[in-house]
Amino acid sequence: MNDLNKKSVHTILHDLTLEEKIGQLLQLAPFFLLNDIEVEIFGSVQELNLDKEKIFNSGSMLGIGSAEDMIKVQSKYLENSRHKIPLVFMADIVHGYKTIFPVPIALASSFSEKLVYTSARISADEATTAGIHVTFSPVSDISKDPRWGRVVETFGEDSYLAGVMSKAMVKGYQQDNISLDNSLASCVKHFAAYGVPLAGRDYNTVTLSHIDLYSEYLKPYKEALDAGARLIMTAFNTIDRVPCTTNSFLLRNILRDKWKSNVVTISDYDSLRQIIDHGVAKDMKEVAYQGIQAGLDIEMQSTAYTNHLEGLIKNKAVDERLVDEAVLRVLQLKKDLGLFENPYKGAVLDDSTRVLTKENLESARMVAEESMVLLKNDGVLPLDKHIKIALIGPYADSKSVIGPWSWHGSRDVHPSLMDVFEENIIYHNNRSDIKDYTEKDLEKINQSDFIIFALGEPDWLSGEAHSRTDITLPNHQEKLMQLAKRANKKSVVLLFNGRPLVLENTLESNAIIECWFLGSESSNAIKNVLFGDVNPSGKLPISFPRNLGQVPYTYNHLNTGRPFIEGTNNEYVSKYMDSPNTPQFCFGYGLSYAKFKYTNLNLSKKEMRVTDSILASVNITNESNVTGKEVVQLYVKDVFARVSRPVKELKAFKKIELKPNETTTVSFEVSIKELVYQNILGEDVFDYGEFVIMIGCSSDDYLEDVLYLVED
């Protein structure tokens, strides 16, 4: 088949045999084509039941590593396939290709759509050089449970924030035009609600009400689709006890009917076959039947369609039109990507002018600087540039700060803290066990002016399949704080971790900075913040619990019928006997070296009609002598409605910069959009009456006033 580009996708479809059509719905790892096919078929993947013909009919590849490999695989494929429809190459470019940006939970901490866009734009520009066409990103799953290892890949606990960030990422990858050589098509994942497995254990059951789904969990995926994401990946979990991969409520009722979306649907890795383990299909034939009926287009790394769809269609159990619809979507994606014009789209063998460039690293540093969250500072920060430092803890000279899902990023090329603070460091030790520190060590620590504790989880402790039941610092690293006491030194704790942690004794430190995993430029960015060249401005996108017992905690919980009111001691109310209800650090919290004061909350009108909008504004003054950035947050509470509504919900935010002693007014438009909610059917509804409008610097520090929604 030549001149694919001149043909419509319908014509191309028409020219394919049934077997070839089904092949378009199969995604395999490229090693089948990189290595000797005969060896692979009879090797470890024998259970996939593949033969040469099926491999040369597959439609897409998962996880190509370089332009060289891509060219090799594509040319071998095109030589051997009858129809010559190019493969589309997909991979997980989650927070960078070779220049690594902060992990998504850190990106969300920046509360900056602009920076998130930049990180996605540069990631796409770099990754496309390897001939990658689709990225499995953003992760738009909301997560409120730090036990779950994939919190690190998410934008945190809030639906609105995750939606804004998902949108910015999609725009950054796709540039509104996926045919461009340096655009990646975006695949949003994991549809749906993968981020709330019971007990925080990855892949575990999800039990959410439909109202929870509609009012929170589905929204960020929808935002990504509205921004133009071209694919959606199904999740490993069940919804209503039906695996998401074969869940027609999600894939047909929500995606196609309600959202009117025609994007390509793709399973997660082997998740179609796994419906057998879920106990809803007894063999691969039934798996294939359920997948295509439910609306799953591509199956990743399992072979139910390949081995069974043809038979099901011939026996009239499945309507061929279902396959045609799925294949048309895949062909359209390939056409829109420009693969019919150039099957080697993007791939450049010499990527040196595009990858890991000075400019890209500079951008990575700027993003990293704004992704840190200053959790505590009793005045010790910023540090004097001549200060003598003792650098202690497992991240003291570790280069492993790029975080999970940076498979193309090198862990060795970027500077460690040791490297960047070289001139100031008079002592360092990367041991995490207090027992490894002797009197000799203490003598040297004594000669320093200040201790930097670089603590955290090893980066492999978060990510897929890395759930924990203990969310404290591993190996009792917090005991290292004793060194500060014994040497009578002030200290800062730098935290490297993929999830909120219970911080215990580290809270005694004079200052704490949440660094998450900041990517290639981690150490330089940290240095700039510690020395005050950059003023920290990140805010937490997820609450930090005081203890494991509070998990999962969320700031936007319902009031309950027996709310606990701070300062009272009623017994039969919703509280713990051994812990406050409030978290250690709340959603939206983060300090600055500047001091911001909020005054004069003003609503332009106290009453609003459904068709009106009002302005809610506040004055913010920088009462310090340093310039700083602040994330001004708008929360709304619907006081009485037909269903119980959260105690507050983030509805908007703005990141502003204020010079010393400068005052500015920040205004938010509030319209019916901020006041509606979703009912059990997913319809937007509202109730007249009282709404509390809150504007502040975090979810528990704000000014408030009441707005009434009134009838015409």
The residues, any chain, with a CB within 8 Å of residue 639's CB and separated by 6 or more, are 645, 689, 690, 691, 692
Rounded least distance, CB 94 to ligand BGC, Å:
8
Which residue has the closest beta carbon to ligand BGC? 136
Output DSSP code: residue 129. G
Return the structure tokens found at 517. 């995993």
Q: Which is nearer to ligand BGC, 138 or 343 (CB)?
A: 138
Rounded least distance, CB 255 to ligand BGC, Å:
18
- Report the b/e string of 212-240 with b at 16+ CB within 10 A: bbbbbbbbbbbbbbebbbbbbbbbbbbbe
Residue 324, number of CB atoms within 10 A of its CB: 16
C-alpha to C-alpha distances, 466 to 179, 203, 277, 340, 432, nearest whole angstrom: 36, 11, 20, 40, 21
3 a catalytic residue: no
Rounded least distance, CB 35 to ligand BGC, Å:
19
Rounded least distance, CB 217 to ligand BGC, Å:
17
Tell me the three state secondary structure of residue 98: coil
Longest dimension (CA), the chain: 82
The residues, any chain, with a CB within 8 Å of residue 27's CB and separated by 6 or more, are 58, 59, 60, 61, 62, 90, 266, 298, 299, 300, 301
Rounded least distance, CB 238 to ligand BGC, Å:
15
CA 210 – CA 373 distance, rounded (Å): 34
Q: Which is nearer to ligand BGC, 30 or 338 (CB)?
A: 30
C-alpha to C-alpha distances, 667 to 11, 234, 631, 660, nearest whole angstrom: 54, 39, 13, 21
Which residues of this protein are in contact with ligand BGC, per CB under 6 A?
A: 62, 92, 136, 189, 268-269, 464
Rounded least distance, CB 140 to ligand BGC, Å:
12
Q: Which is nearer to ligand BGC, 269 or 653 (CB)?
A: 269
Q: Which is nearer to ligand BGC, 232 or 480 (CB)?
A: 232
Q: For residue 22, which of 346, 363, 312, 306 has the smallest C-alpha distance?
A: 306
Q: Which is nearer to ligand BGC, 47 or 378 (CB)?
A: 47
Give the H or E element holding residue 634: strand 628-638
- At 301, the amino acid letter reads Q
Q: Which is nearer to ligand BGC, 107 or 484 (CB)?
A: 107
Q: For residue 401, which of 106, 185, 181 has the smallest C-alpha distance?
A: 106
Q: Catalytic residue among 69, 92, 145, 268, which?
A: 268
Q: Which is nearer to ligand BGC, 105 or 374 (CB)?
A: 105
Rounded least distance, CB 503 to ligand BGC, Å:
29
Q: Bridge partners of 59?
A: none
> In this structure, are residues 336 and 229 in contact, taking their beta carbons and an 8 Å threshold?
no
Which sequence positions are flagged as catalytic?
268
